[in-house]
């Protein structure tokens, strides 16, 4: 069973995977140990997989992938405007780093990822909003809606 970067832990926005691997390692180890006492090898793999990729993590990954696809196609000037909106929208009163820190650490619940995405859209200038609404070259708007709605 893959783990770490091989399991898709590489964050699309940062490229880092070590923190997530370290964060999940004890729970995955417990699932493996506990699983052997009640099920076969396939059941152990399923239990560990559900620790690694619970529903919310799969939904967030779909949102991150949608954003990554969009950013890859932006020219430099548009990317700069996007990140201006991203950091402005991610600020929260009483917090030095706001939502963007949780986004970059992959520690936000899906509702906050979606809220940040909406705030970025609202904070962006009109040309950037148009690019965001169109999506990337291969953007799957249906997958985006599925991730947001949990279906």
Which pLDDT does position 91 carry in this prediction?
A: 73
Count of all residues that appear for the chain in the document: 151
pLDDT computed for residue 92 by the predictor: 61
Least confident of 2-6, 83-87, 108-112: 2-6
Higher pLDDT, 147 or 13: 147
Q: Is the pLDDT of residue 126 over 90?
A: yes
The CA radius of gyration of the chain, in Å to the nearest whole number, is 17
The pLDDT score that the predictor gives to residue 80 is 92
Three-state secondary structure along the chain?
CCCHHHHCCCCCCCCCCHHHHHHHHHHHHHHHHHHHCCCCHHHHHHHHHHHHCCHHHHHHHHHHHHHHHHHHCCCHHHHHHHHHHHHHHCCCCCCCCHHHHHHHHCCCCHHHHHHHHHHHHHHCCHHHHHHHHHCCCCCCHHHHHHHHHCC
Lowest mean pLDDT among 1-5, 42-46, 66-70, 72-76: 1-5
User: Which pLDDT belongs to residue 7?
Assistant: 54
Average pLDDT of the chain is: 79
pLDDT at 9 over 70: no
For residue 47, what are the contacts with CB-CB under 8 A and spacing of at least 6? 31, 32, 34, 35, 39
């Amino acid at each position: 069973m893959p783990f770490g970067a091989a399991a898709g832990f590489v964050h699309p926005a940062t490229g880092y995977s070590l923190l997530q691997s370290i964060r999940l390692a004890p729970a995955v180890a417990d699932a493996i140990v506990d699983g052997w006492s009640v099920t076969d090898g396939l059941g152990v793999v399923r239990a560990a997989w559900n620790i690694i990729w619970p529903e919310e993590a799969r939904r967030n990954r779909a949102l991150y992938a949608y954003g990554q696809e969009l950013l890859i196609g932006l020219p430099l000037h548009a990317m700069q405007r996007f990140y201006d909106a991203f950091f402005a929208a991610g600020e929260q009163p009483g917090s030095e780093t706001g939502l963007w820190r949780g986004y970059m650490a992959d520690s936000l619940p899906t509702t906050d990822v979606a809220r940040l995405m909406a705030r970025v859209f609202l904070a962006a200038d009109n040309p950037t909003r148009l690019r965001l609404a169109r999506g990337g070259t291969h953007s799957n708007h249906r997958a985006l809606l599925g991730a947001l709605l949990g279906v």
